[in-house]
Structure 1
């Protein structure tokens, strides 16, 4: 048996906290009876309804690698009418959620899952899953400035965790770096470089935890094999 909030989260209906609010608001019923205790436990055989709509039992956990191109926003709906990741994905793909985001100008590895609990777990800042990026920056290479990022830069009242910053090569007008972060704040790398007067003009995520972009072509999506996923899930969720 599992708590109702976890079941709704796994099914991608709402976050755990959102599920608790729905229960307290009287919007959730189990086997025809409205529940008001967020700690209520259910089984996969129970009939669960949210606002009068039947909730399908959670499916087997699945995970996909998507090589996100630039020009797409990572959201279900964009009020500005821009193309989203979900507009781009194959129509035969089941309902999926992105794990973290990449802004419209960024590209590379975007993980997608049908399991809201896995999404929540991988996004928790406290667990510190490493995200690796290849980043092209306009500006002059300066180790003293980069040391500010390595120490954990503060922007206004926001303190960033230390970044791993490694020089790859210097071109005429740009510098390439390998960057590792463990938080995934909104536009974290771009904002950090802006703060030291360097401008990111290309950002490619190459890995998230144990999952890598590899040679996956831009715009392609590929499901992560079940055995590899199960092997890594034990480490991810332990």
Structure 2
């Protein structure tokens, strides 16, 4: 395994996570476990609010599973670590915002990792594909997520053909939020991250928990859990000083000061 395949740096309340495994930033079991530790640490650190996930270089964000490592004995059903593949897809109780800054090719498991983030920014040369079908396997996470995010027939086209699509199509489909020139991507990601990090963290946490937990619930059941403060983040929010701060700031004609408490 490449030494230090995951690079991190902290800027204020923002954690930048860079996948750095030459030549293509593919993920093996050991790297996935490290990523899980990194994102679990981010989740549990009260001083961190937002994370940015990107790849090293300007060609690959991530192509997904490291087939060379698999050929050397990494089992596809092996131990991916606390967060599942790439540290994000199955990480429990992650109620903080994660931004993907897609600096190049995102295909297979790399596209699925991208879909695990909350907001997606991409360089103008980025490209995407789910080529698993051509290898006789299934893009499992994408098969679950993509038909819920874009029109069913479009998702099925991408899943069944494994074709490549460019960043312009990705944005038109709503898969990507923002597109920037490659040399501006990380700067723009940090601008957005700083804006979010300055926002009401308790509300952000509540939004993430509600969206995640209510995905397969009936509308009224989910709404009852919100109004009844059954969700832990909602209970915390509704008993916090921050819950009143927005109204006070409006009445006093000032910017709100969020304390996260």
Going by fraction, where is helix more abundant, 1 or 2?
Answer: 2
**Shorter-normalised TM range:** under 0.3
Please give the TM-score of this superposition, normalised by the length of structure 1: 0.27
> TM-score scaled to structure 2, two decimals?
0.26
> If each structure's strand is expressed as a fraction of its own residues, which one has the higher value?
1
Task: Decide which structure has the larger Cα Rg and report it.
Answer: 1
